[in-house]
């Protein structure tokens, strides 16, 4: 390459943060001494931004008019045509006949044997609910999935679209023991060579940990008709060279579910074949340890081999796909490594009395080491002095040109937020199970309720999804409320606090939601009607997550 072109390449390397510490120092010396060189750098940044402008304009131009606004004319012509077809064909359907009879837009719970002492949640101010989750969690996108239920093909007025949590991806080295931590805190520990395939294994994980995740995905916790109480659910898949793979025969792995407050189940390992029409089966294989172990509060996590805990962070290597996240208190630190970019990186940090006393970086990637070390040095010098402060940081390697230097990418957060984050990172109570199966795995216990069981029958005037939650225990039952069709929840204990959530997707506001809270009581025959209220996805999630508080 010509010298001029080599200089362009050097400028690119600087902009992309790819120079080593010494190279960067030399480069910055030149910037100070040579105004022309500085101008060349500014020009190169401007050109790159100019290229980006061109690309963005093309993208914007391509999407222009495809939004709802752009579809307006399409509907002006299409809607009358659809209405004609609807009247020509639709009048014969059972659904339309039903609709003529029932005109109300209300949800009507009808109980076979018992009726309810109701306490409606109508009027709940969802805007002022406390923010329970921190940013990395509230931002978890849910995506629509195909509804593959076996419901009868009734014409649906509402849109019974299912939402799913984001699938998280990790890469592990199959030749050694590996540990990964999901966004909601589930820790998976794999033994060396326990998975079929090569050394590099991709793990895809879905955590159904938050109540909103379970409700919006419509997951049930039943085993052959019996209600079970969940201590945490995941769906885990493994891939080797892009092909789905399995555990080797007689090989197990360990799953640590952070315990929810009030959840004291003595769980066992359950597994299931499909997320739709879930039927959990207990894993009775003698190779796995039953029942699941529970780490109680106050116990130090270092007692469990492989788990991180205060003062014992050696070998800690939770990997996240997109970010490298660093959080610490005066006692401990955790670094989440960008596993896609740095699949082999291992970071261990120990903080004693507010000082980083030990930092071990094990990575074949020179750039990773350089950036992290440079950062840690700065961090130690400037920030550690501030005792009692906690920080959360996001390191973005992708676009240093747009973000400035590494240090600018770290933002100080307030103590309360840091405490919440550290709480989620440092849960000291786990339900730990072993599993011989990938796929759907649940730490469960049969809900042992010695009361008379009844069936609850619901009828709704609109199509919607129904979820029934037990207030005092983590039991979830899913059903579909097709308009004017009775839907049954069976084997519900009397005198049990239950929460019914009915929802459907709405064009205007993401969701239309109806939430009712009852106590099943044989002697009370009141009937409660509640209207659906509009909620954004975020409001809906927050409402559900705080519903059992």
Partner 1 sequence: MTQDQIIQQIQSGNREKAFKELYNYFPKVEALILKSGGSKNNASDIFQEALILLFRKLQKCDFVLTSSLETYLYSVCRFMCYDQNRANAKQTDWNVNLEESEQDEIASIFQEEEKYKLAETALQTLGEKCLEILKMFYHQGVKMAEIAKKMKLSSAKIAKNQKYKCLEKAKQKFVELRATK
Q: For the CB of residue 486, give the shortest distance to partner 1 in the complex, in Å.
A: 34
322 contacts partner 1 (rule: CB under 8 A): yes
Question: Which of 59-67, 239-247, 263-271, 287-295 is the region at the interface with partner 1 (rule: CB under 8 A)?
Answer: 59-67
Residues in the chain: 549
Q: For the CB of residue 466, give the shortest distance to partner 1 in the complex, in Å.
A: 24
Q: Do the beta carbons of residue 461 and residue 102 sit within 8 Å?
A: yes
The single residue among 99, 102, 409, 487 that binds partner 1, judged by CB under 8 A, is 409
Return the SS3 of 433: strand
Question: For 80, which DSSP code?
Answer: H
Give every CB contact of residue 472 below 8 A, 6+ residues apart in sequence. Answer: 496, 497
66 contacts partner 1 (rule: CB under 8 A): yes
The single residue among 47, 83, 85, 386 that binds partner 1, judged by CB under 8 A, is 47
Three-state SS annotation for 90-124:
HHHCHHHHHHHHCCCCCEEEEECCCEEEEEECCCC
Query: Beta-carbon neighbour count of residue 271 at 10 Å?
Result: 17
What is the per-residue binding string for partner 1 in 517-536, x denoting contact by CB under 8 A?
-------------------x
4 contacts partner 1 (rule: CB under 8 A): yes
Of the candidates 335, 296, 333, 328, the one whose C-alpha atom is nearest the C-alpha of residue 312 is 333
Q: For the CB of residue 142, give the shortest distance to partner 1 in the complex, in Å.
A: 9
Question: Which of 138-146, 235-243, 267-275, 500-508 is the region at the interface with partner 1 (rule: CB under 8 A)?
Answer: 138-146
The single residue among 20, 118, 138, 251 that binds partner 1, judged by CB under 8 A, is 138
74 contacts partner 1 (rule: CB under 8 A): no
The single residue among 3, 32, 33, 54 that binds partner 1, judged by CB under 8 A, is 54
Degrees, nearest 5: CA angle 351-354-359: 30
Question: Which of 2-10, 308-316, 443-451, 489-497 is the region at the interface with partner 1 (rule: CB under 8 A)?
Answer: 2-10
Phi, psi of 73 (to 5 degrees): -65, -35
Binding residues among 270-289 for partner 1 as defined by CB under 8 A: none
67 contacts partner 1 (rule: CB under 8 A): yes
Q: Do the beta carbons of residue 440 and residue 235 sit within 8 Å?
A: yes
Q: For the CB of residue 152, give the shortest distance to partner 1 in the complex, in Å.
A: 31
296 contacts partner 1 (rule: CB under 8 A): no
Q: Please, is 445 exposed, middle or buried when counting C-beta atoms within 10 Å of its C-beta (0-12, 13-18, 19+)? A: buried
Euclidean distance between CA atoms 270 and 211, whole angstroms:
19
Q: Which is nearer to partner 1, 5 or 76 (CB)?
A: 5
Q: Do the beta carbons of residue 251 and residue 466 sit within 8 Å?
A: no
Q: Do the beta carbons of residue 353 and residue 371 sit within 8 Å?
A: no
Q: Which is nearer to partner 1, 25 or 144 (CB)?
A: 144
Binding residues among 499-518 for partner 1 as defined by CB under 8 A: 510
Q: Which is nearer to partner 1, 120 or 509 (CB)?
A: 509
Site size with partner 1, rule: CB under 8 A: 49
Q: Which is nearer to partner 1, 63 or 526 (CB)?
A: 63
Euclidean distance between CA atoms 10 and 16, whole angstroms:
10
The single residue among 14, 17, 19, 44 that binds partner 1, judged by CB under 8 A, is 44
Phi, psi of 515 (to 5 degrees): -120, 130
In the chain, the N- to C-terminal Cα span, in Å, equals: 65
Q: Which is nearer to partner 1, 62 or 88 (CB)?
A: 62
Of the candidates 256, 269, 291, 283, the one whose C-alpha atom is nearest the C-alpha of residue 185 is 256
Q: For the CB of residue 413, give the shortest distance to partner 1 in the complex, in Å.
A: 12
Interacting residue ranges for partner 1, rule: CB under 8 A: 1, 4-5, 8-9, 40, 43-44, 46-70, 138-139, 141, 322, 394, 396, 399, 402-403, 408-409, 411, 510, 536-538
């Amino acid at each position: 390459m010509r010298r001029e072109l080599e200089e362009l390449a050097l400028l690119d390397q600087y902009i992309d943060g790819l120079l080593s510490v010494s190279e960067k120092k030399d480069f910055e010396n030149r910037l100070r001494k040579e105004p022309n060189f500085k101008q060349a750098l500014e020009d190169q940044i401007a050109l790159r931004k100019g290229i980006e402008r061109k690309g963005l304009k093309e993208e914007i131009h391509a999407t222009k008019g495809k939004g709802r606004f752009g579809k307006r004319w399409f509907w002006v012509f299409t809607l009358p045509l659809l209405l004609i077809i609807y009247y020509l064909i639709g009048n014969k359907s059972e659904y339309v006949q039903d609709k003529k009879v029932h005109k109300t837009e209300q949800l009507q719970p009808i109980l076979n044997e018992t009726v309810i002492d109701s306490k409606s949640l109508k009027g709940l101010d969802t805007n002022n609910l406390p923010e329970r989750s921190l940013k990395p969690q509230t931002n978890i996108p849910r995506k629509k999935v195909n509804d593959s239920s076996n419901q009868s093909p009734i014409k649906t007025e509402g849109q019974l679209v299912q939402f799913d949590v984001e699938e998280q991806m990790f890469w592990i080295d199959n030749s050694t023991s590996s540990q990964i931590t999901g966004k909601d805190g589930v820790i998976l520990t794999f033994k060396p060579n326990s998975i079929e395939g090569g050394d590099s294994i991709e793990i895809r994980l879905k955590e159904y940990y938050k109540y909103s995740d379970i409700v919006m995905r419509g997951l049930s916790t039943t085993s052959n008709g019996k209600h079970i109480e969940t201590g945490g659910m995941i769906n885990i898949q493994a891939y080797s060279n892009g092909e789905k793979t399995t555990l080797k025969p007689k090989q197990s792995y360990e799953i640590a579910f952070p315990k929810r407050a009030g959840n004291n189940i003595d769980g066992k390992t359950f597994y299931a074949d499909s997320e739709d029409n879930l039927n959990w089966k207990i894993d009775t294989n003698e190779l796995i340890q039953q029942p699941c172990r529970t780490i109680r509060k106050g116990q130090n996590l270092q007692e469990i081999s492989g788990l991180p805990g205060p003062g014992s962070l050696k070998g800690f290597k939770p990997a996240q796909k997109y970010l490298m996240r660093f959080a610490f208190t005066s006692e401990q630190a955790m670094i989440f490594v960008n596993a896609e970019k740095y699949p082999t990186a291992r970071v261990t940090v120990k903080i004693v009395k507010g000082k980083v006393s030990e930092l071990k970086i094990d990575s074949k990637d020179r750039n990773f080491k350089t950036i992290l070390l440079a950062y840690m040095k700065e961090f130690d010098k400037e920030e550690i002095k501030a005792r009692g402060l906690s920080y959360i940081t996001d390191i973005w390697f992708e676009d240093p040109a747009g973000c400035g230097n590494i240090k600018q990418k770290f933002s100080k957060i307030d103590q309360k937020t840091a405490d919440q984050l550290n709480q989620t990172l440092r849960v000291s109570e786990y339900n730990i199970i072993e599993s011989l199966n990938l796929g759907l795995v649940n730490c469960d216990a049969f809900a042992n309720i010695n009361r008379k069981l009844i069936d609850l029958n619901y009828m709704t005037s609109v199509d919607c999804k129904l979820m029934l939650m037990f207030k005092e225990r983590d039991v979830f039952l899913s059903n579909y409320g097709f308009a004017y069709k009775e839907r049954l929840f069976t084997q519900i204990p009397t005198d049990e606090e239950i929460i019914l959530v009915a929802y459907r997707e709405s064009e205007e506001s993401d969701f239309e939601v109806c939430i009712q809270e009852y106590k099943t009581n044989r002697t009370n025959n009141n009937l409660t009607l509640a209207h659906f209220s509009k909620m954004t996805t975020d409001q809906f999630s927050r409402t559900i997550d705080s519903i059992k508080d």
